[in-house]
Amino acid sequence: SLENTRQLPKEIQARQLPFQEIICTETQYIRQIGLLIAHYLRPLQNELEGIISTMDIKTIFCNIEDIFKVSKKLLQALQEEEKKEPEMQNIGSLFISFKRDFGVYPPYCTSQST
């Protein structure tokens, strides 16, 4: 709560707001990717199959499902970290532990720039 945050050392207080912002942003990101997959990718792969080529689908969506999985996993880890006492949270280490998982982004970013 806000009252409890005020009792924390200033250094820890200073990172609580950005931490909450990361969780909020990641939650919205997952929701948006989920909608993209459910309302565009899945229909194009199933009932709307043939409207655009498989190659075009791959070009447009690339590995968005892998990104969705990594983002969900990251959000779960962030939410677990959030449950800890603020003094015990180690957000930097959490992100470092996702270094390999974040490897799903370069293929997507590369495909979007072409």
Which pLDDT tens digit goes with each residue over 83-107? Answer: 999 889 999 999 999 999 999 999 8
Give the containing element (helix H, strand E) for 4.
helix 2-6
Give 4 or 9, the one with higher predicted confidence. Answer: 9
pTM of the model: 0.84
d(CA 28, CA 11): 27
3-state secondary structure 43-78: HHHCCCCCCCCHHHHHHHHCCHHHHHHHHHHHHHHH
Residue 15: pLDDT band (50, 70, 90) is confident
